[in-house]
Amino acid sequence: MTQDELKKAVAHAAIEHVPSGIIGVGTGSTANHFIAALAAIKGRIDGAVASSIATAERLQMIGIPVLDLNSVGEMEVYVDGADEITRHMAMIKGGGGALTREKIVAACAKKFICIADDSKLVDVMGKFPLPVEVIPMARSFVARQLVKLGGNPVLREGFTTDNGNVILDVHGMNIVDPVAMETEINQIVGVVTVGLFARRGADVFLMGTQNGVKTLTR
């Protein structure tokens, strides 16, 4: 199977974990397969909270009402992909630039279901450049602080987040303590969100492999 077929397989497997009611939906190519799979069960979905404008548009296209998080409160599940994930369920996210809204919607869900192919499973995170969403005027200041932490931040050229901010992709990080690093980067003035999801990682990881979909739990 190709990587895209593995993504599709986990997206379909995630449907079994979707309760009736309201769900949170992530962003990216794996999440897009999940949205396509949702079409078959949309009768039992009252609505969805989207983690990006792109996801909201896709949900609306298949007839699933998109709800404002402020009017929803808590959800049973949030389903999303990842750029890297460890066996301890910590993740790097934000390759698609939606990390802040993803983290907010995930925080409001009882269960985070990560859907990804097995190329995303790593022992130590950091090979994938760590996305950091930054207030534009703080870009240089934040970049200097990230260099002090041992990283090589690179501005994502020509990209503005749904929140009107910029992204620094930090190369060369060896993330041995993801919880500590998430806390430290979040403290830098001007940082909106770091794409480390360790303090609140995934609860279930549906991993696409050549031998079928494997389920890892926390």
Query: Which residues of the shown chain bind ligand 5RP in the complex (CB under 6 A)?
Result: 26-31, 80-83, 93-99, 102
* CB crowding 118-148: b at 16 or more within 10 Å, else e: bebbbeebbebbbbbbbbeebbeebbebbee
If the CB atoms of residues 27 and 145 are measured against ligand 5RP, the closer one turns out to be: 27
Q: How far is the CB of 162 from ligand 5RP (least distance, A)?
A: 10
3-state DSSP call for residue 134?
strand
SS (H, E, C) 80-132: ECCCEECCCCCEECCCCCCHHHHHHHHHCEEEEEEEEEHHHECCCECCCCEEE
Strand order in the sheet with 166-171: 152-155, 166-171, 130-134, 191-194
Q: How far is the CB of 26 from ligand 5RP (least distance, A)?
A: 5
Kindly state the tokens that stand for 83: 């750029």
Q: How far is the CB of 52 from ligand 5RP (least distance, A)?
A: 7
Kindly state the tokens that stand for 208: 């696409």
Q: How far is the CB of 135 from ligand 5RP (least distance, A)?
A: 18
Among the listed residues 5, 76, 84, 102, the single catalytic one is 102
Return the bridge partners of 115, or none: 206
3-state DSSP call for residue 158?
coil
The verdict on whether 16 is a catalytic residue reads no
If the CB atoms of residues 80 and 181 are measured against ligand 5RP, the closer one turns out to be: 80
If the CB atoms of residues 83 and 169 are measured against ligand 5RP, the closer one turns out to be: 83
If the CB atoms of residues 129 and 153 are measured against ligand 5RP, the closer one turns out to be: 129
Q: How far is the CB of 128 from ligand 5RP (least distance, A)?
A: 9
If the CB atoms of residues 20 and 160 are measured against ligand 5RP, the closer one turns out to be: 160
Amino acid (1-letter code) at residue 99: L
Kindly state the tokens that stand for 197: 């999801």
Kindly state the tokens that stand for 51: 């983690």
| Active site positions, annotated | 102
